[in-house]
């Protein structure tokens, strides 16, 4: 069966994800349409990977439409722009790190036109996308997931986590756990720095002990101790994700004093350090709060 896939949003993640789709449809005899707000980027993608640059209305013809945009607000915009053009029987797969409440609203709107919706955010970073090794956490109907599972060419692991919105909820919690683990490690290292402990030695020990986490093993050694803070994922987007986690907590009438405190601190970091900085630069606020450097 020849499939037409569409991919909306060729950012740091979307670009390599769409490349995997193009490779996949080339092998299976289908087509991959790509759209980006800046058209030139779509043209470049087509030249490099054999996808087809499309105007927004054209993607309405696809069997499966993937979106990977900064926030749910941009997904709302493309949905509004596409209006009634989507065709019944299509599946919309939103890989944005979006809001569960938006997913439920969008799914309800699309259902009225006969279009199914899955929230399907990913983890693994641009490297994982380029290698086709992403993890996808899917919210929505399992039967719908089965209709598109073979199309998720960018994924090494696909996990169904619940109803519509559950994918976004798990993604927001995951990113916020990472944010907590990084911030706490920053606090601990700043305190140790003030007592004269060598931080490379401290991290060496922690990474051989129970305090280890992804930030102590990778982010802090590579981005903070080096003072490089290379921008691969913006601080403002992580603050947004932590805010979504706070919404998940609030909507569930849950009690999460640590997650919500940390969400507040990342919001503070985005305001005071800059939303465009790398997310690891949140620790610059920890440094200011402690009058010391983590190096």
Site for a copy of itself in 207-236 (CB under 8 A): 208-214, 216
Q: How far is the CB of 116 from a copy of itself (least distance, A)?
A: 19
256 interacts with a copy of itself by CB under 8 A: yes
| Contact flag: residue 254 with a copy of itself (CB under 8 A) | yes
Helices 166-194 and 235-251, axial angle in degrees (round to 10): 120
* Residue 171 is a catalytic residue: yes
HSE-CB at 282 with a 13 A cutoff on CA atoms is: 32
- Is residue 157 a contact point for a copy of itself (CB under 8 A)? yes
Could you say which of 98, 100, 132, 140 contacts a copy of itself (CB under 8 A)? 100
**Using CB under 8 A, which of the segments 3-11, 55-63, 87-95, 191-199 binds a copy of itself?**
191-199
d(CA 269, CA 265) in angstroms, rounded, equals 6
250 binds a copy of itself (CB under 8 A): yes
Q: CB within 8 A of 44, min separation 6: which ones?
A: none
- Residue count at the site for a copy of itself (CB under 8 A)? 81
- Cα–Cα separations (whole angstroms), residue 31 to 36, 54, 279: 17, 11, 36
d(CA 54, CA 9): 12
Identify whether the C-beta of residue 273 lies closer than 8 Å to the C-beta of residue 125.
Answer: no
Please, what is the minimum distance in Å from the beta carbon of residue 144 to a copy of itself?
Answer: 17
Residue 46 C-beta: closest distance to a copy of itself, Å: 31
Q: Per rule CB under 8 A, is residue 191 in the interface with a copy of itself?
A: yes
Per-position x/- string for 10-39, each x denoting binding to a copy of itself as judged by CB under 8 A, each - no binding: ------------------------------
Q: Residue 104 belongs to what H/E stretch?
A: helix 100-111
Catalytic residue among 41, 171, 240, 284: 171
Cβ atoms of residues 34 and 6 within 8 Å: yes
Is 110:83 a contact under the CB 8 Å cutoff? no
Binding of a copy of itself at residue 150 (CB under 8 A)? no
Q: In the structure encoding, which two tokens stand for residue 150, read together?
A: 């073979």
145 binds a copy of itself (CB under 8 A): no
Catalytic residues: 171
């Amino acid at each position: 069966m020849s499939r037409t896939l569409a991919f909306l949003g060729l950012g740091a993640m979307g670009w390599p994800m769409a490349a995997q789709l193009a490779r996949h449809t080339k092998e299976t005899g289908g087509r991959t349409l790509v759209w980006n707000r800046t058209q030139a980027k779509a043209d470049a993608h087509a030249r490099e990977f054999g996808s087809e640059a499309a105007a927004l209305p054209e993607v309405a013809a696809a069997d499966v439409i993937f979106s990977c945009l900064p926030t749910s607000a941009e997904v709302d915009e493309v949905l509004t722009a596409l209006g009634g053009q989507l065709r019944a029987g299509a599946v919309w797969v939103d890989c944005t790190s979006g809001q569960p409440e938006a997913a439920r609203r969008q799914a309800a709107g699309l259902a009225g036109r006969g279009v199914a919706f899955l929230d399907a955010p990913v983890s693994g970073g641009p490297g994982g996308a380029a290698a086709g090794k992403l993890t996808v956490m899917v919210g929505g109907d399992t039967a719908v997931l089965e209709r598109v599972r073979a199309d998720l060419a960018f994924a090494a692991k696909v996990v169904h986590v619940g109803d519509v919105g559950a994918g976004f909820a798990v993604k927001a919690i995951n990113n916020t756990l990472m944010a907590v683990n990084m911030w706490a490690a920053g606090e601990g290292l700043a305190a140790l720095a003030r007592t004269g402990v060598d931080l490379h030695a401290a991290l060496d020990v922690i990474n051989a002990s129970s305090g280890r986490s992804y930030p102590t093993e990778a982010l802090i050694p590579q981005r903070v101790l080096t003072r490089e803070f290379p921008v691969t994922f913006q601080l403002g987007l992580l603050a947004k994700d932590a805010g979504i986690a706070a919404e998940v907590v609030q909507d569930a009438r849950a009690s999460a004093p640590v997650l919500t405190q940390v969400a507040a601190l990342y919001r503070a970091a985005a305001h005071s350090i800059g939303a465009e900085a790398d997310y690891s630069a949140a620790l610059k606020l920890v440094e200011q709060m402690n009058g010391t450097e983590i190096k």
